[in-house]
Structure 1
Amino acid sequence: MPTSGDLRFFALDSGRDFGQLVAQSLGIDLSPHEEREFEDGEHKARPLTNVRGKDVFVVQSLHGDPHRSVNDKLMRLLLFIGTLVDASAARVTAVLPYLCYARKEQKTQPRDPIATRYVAGLFEAVGTDRVVALDVHNLAAFQNAFRCRTDHLEANPLFVRHFASQLQGEDVVVVSPDAGGVKRAERFRRGISAALGRDASLAFMEKHRAGGVMRGGAIVGEVAGKSAVIIDDLISTGSTMLHAAKVCREQGARAVHAAATHGVFSSKAEAVLADPALAQIVVTNSIPPFRLSPALVQSKLVILDIAPLIASAIAAIHDDGSITALLEP
């Protein structure tokens, strides 16, 4: 997808590998930049090419890894965006395959923080013109938190294409692991139904949490004799997915597949995801599965590449095209 010469595309060092994939899909090179570390733990980054009057995009997935914490990545990105603004970029767009702190978007207890809104304020404070994010935890909260322009991308078309090829001839039920995810599951159900040429059904789990511990477990909908696809925005410990998978199997599902955009895979996810109740786990490369063993990744995990989707979104924004068209399977 050719782009005009006034586009600049950066990826900070911690996300350079993913940035290279996006750049390849765009048909351009990553714009050069420099990052320096100081002995006291401070750092700086600056572009090594002219950005004055340019349409600038910076991609950074805001997840922690063994080398950089979430907070470190966020701070580095904010400072770099501020530097680009001060260097007279015409527009700076932050492209965030994974947006940190998006799960804390409301007060669930007295005096709770609303972290999503605070993070939005930080991006606005350094002069970010637009934020592009992929499958945030709560879309309404994301859209309401930011006063700058936002675009929301979905991995749903990737999941539809993957499972349409895997489940030909199967009777499919799409399962939301909780009532709050029913809209997401319904979008996937419509897509997979169209792709398969027959209607998939919909079910959801009742789920309650008390003190961080999940309780409840009744399933609403028919899963017996069907191939179930449990779909969510992310997998952290994996306990929600596994609980839903076990209930589906107990209710007579033939096989249970799990799909989530973001594979956080924290805590005890390795043992949970290895459970035979889950036949397959499908995620995207918004977060590399560095917390899982290579054996589990090889045997059970399918990783879908979102770089072409990100590249298409960048090209559409740069050329004043449609983002909505990218959300269709």
Structure 2
Amino acid sequence: MTSMALALFCLDEDKSFAAEVSRFLGVGIAPHEERAFEDGEFKIRPLSNVRNRDVYVLASLHGAEPHTSVSEKLCRLLFFIGALKDAGAAEVCLAAPYLCYQRKDRQTKPRDPVTSRYLAQLLEAMGTHRVITMDAHNVAAYQNAFRCDTDHLDARGLFASHFARLAGDQPVAVVSPDLGGEKRAELFRERLERKLGSPVDKAFMDKRRSQGEVTGDIFAGEVDGRIAIVLDDLISGGGTMARVAQACKTRGATQVWCAATHGVFSSGAAKTLGGAPIDRIVVTDTVPLPAFMTALKDRLSVVGAARLFAQAIERCHNGGSLSQLIEDES
């Protein structure tokens, strides 16, 4: 067991998630100062002693336009990690419920950037000891991008428990919105099957994206007479979920439930999703819901992930097993 005292900081403007993590951990959120200069520069520093302490920084790296861009939040985080290291922190660990710049994890066109690797290099350069995140866009790419310690949490257990209660004894199929997410959907399907104690069917839809245009209409699998649960890592504009929902309804699904770990909703998402044949949308609280999403009313619900993050932080700090934690969630 480590002898270093744990310190918890939060850089999110909406501190509700951090407050829940703090409550589950039984550790208060340490104070810090942020001050802006007239020309747009800023300074950020811890206001409590971190020397020889094990420091965890909670920062969900999503955009919050028109308030704060992703890049501004990342810059602020990097400077804060640097300040913590300069102040003598033994280890600085980033707990990022949503980790930015993960969509581009490989080159699919000539001269494409690999932003997931660039992000890892920036965090490591500032002295980050460990990164904890939930449902990275591509788990293998996330794990391979970093040279520091990484831990990966997933929302499959949270969603399986949630949907098992709703589905009861009704027939269910899990649908992946593209081939890239098929492994994620399959692991969730297996977990849901264990929760329900009955078989769960599967399906997937083809999707190709090039220069912002989405194509592909191949649909494989059986959803007729079943509740179709479409699973993805995030929802942004809502176009992917809308097209898969329509395909499921056309093929006889009794209901369409959409689940995504990160609700990174853009301004047009409420209209797109509201006009689609979707009966339920479920996301976690890794990203705060924007006010405009209230237009979906009771069709949209949120499951909490703070307890899982608190348990992960506690186990990392005390040398416990995260593998066992993930198994326990199943």
Q: What TM-score, normalized to structure 1?
A: 0.96
**Equivalent residue number for residue 262 of structure 1:** 262
Alignment of 1:186-265 (within 5 A): 186-265=186-265
Distance 1:4 1:273, change over 3 A: farther
Matched, 1:112 2:107: no
Aligned residue number for residue 306 of structure 2: 307
Gaps of 5+ in 2: none
Q: CA deviation at 1:299?
A: 2.2
1:235 Cα deviation after fit: 0.6
Amino acid corresponding to residue 302 of structure 1 in structure 2: S
Q: Shift of the alpha carbon at 1:291? A: 5.5
Matching of residues 1-329 of structure 1 within 5 Å: 6-12=5-11, 14-65=13-64, 66-290=66-290, 292-296=292-296, 298-328=297-327, 329=330
Once residues 299 and 40 of structure 2 are traced to their aligned partners in structure 1, the CA distance between those partners, rounded to angstroms, is: 39
CA distance in 1, matches of 2:12, 2:121: 24
In the aligned structure 1, how far is the partner of 2:271 from the partner of 2:12? Answer: 31
- Offset at 1:276? 4.7
**Cα RMSD over matched residues?**
1.4
Shift in Å, 1:15: 4.4
* CA deviation string 1:260-301 (max 9, x = no partner): 0011111421111102510000001111121634231x3211
Q: Following the alignment from structure 2 to structure 1, what is the Cα–Cα distance between the partners of residues 154 and 86?
A: 32
In the comparison of the two structures, how many residue pairs are matched?
Answer: 326
C-alpha distance in structure 2 between counterparts of 1:270 and 1:17, whole Å: 23
* Secondary structure of residue in 1 paired with 2:122: helix
TM-score by length of structure 2 reads 0.96
Change (3 A) 1:145 1:5: closer
In 1, are the aligned partners of 2:31 and 2:48 still within 8 Å (CA)?
A: yes
What secondary structure sits across from 1:237 in the alignment? coil
Structure 1 residues 109 and 226, CA gap change in structure 2 (3 angstroms)? same
Please say which of residues 198-207 and 159-168 is displaced more in the overlay: 198-207
Residues 222-259 of structure 1, C-alpha deviations (whole Å, 9 max, x = no match): 11000110000001111111111110110001101000
Secondary structure at 2:55's aligned position in 1? strand
Change (3 A) 1:4 1:303: farther
Secondary structure in 2 matching 1:265: coil
Equivalent residues of 1:266, 1:291 under 8 A apart: no
Residues in 1 aligned to 2:243 and 2:3: alpha-carbon distance in whole angstroms: 49
CA deviation profile, 1:76-127 (whole Å, cap 9, x unmatched): 1111011111111111100111111100111121111111111111001100
Deviations 1:163-221 (A, max 9, x none): 01000011010000011111100111011100001110111111122332111222111
Mapped partners of 1:39, 1:276: distance in 2: 46
Instruction: Return the alpha-carbon distance in structure 1 between the equivalents of residues 123 and 293 of structure 2.
Output: 35
Specify the SS of the correspondent of 1:99: coil
Q: Which moved more, 1:240-249 or 1:205-214?
A: 205-214
CA separation in 2, counterparts of 1:111 and 1:162?
A: 42
The letter for the 2-side match of 1:244 is: V
Higher deviation after alignment, 13-22 or 229-238: 13-22
Partner Cα distance (1:139, 1:179) in 2:
15
Q: Is the 8 A contact 1:236 1:265 kept in 2?
A: yes
* CA positional deviation for 1:17: 2.8
Displacement after TM superposition at 1:16 (Å): 2.6
**2-structure distance, mates of 1:87, 1:293:** 41
The code of the aligned residue for 1:124 comes to E
Q: Which amino acid aligns with 2:170?
A: E
Give the superposition deviation at 1:327: 2.0
Secondary structure of 1:14's partner?
Answer: coil
Secondary structure of the residue aligned to 1:292 is helix
Structure 1 residues without counterparts, runs of 5 or longer:
none
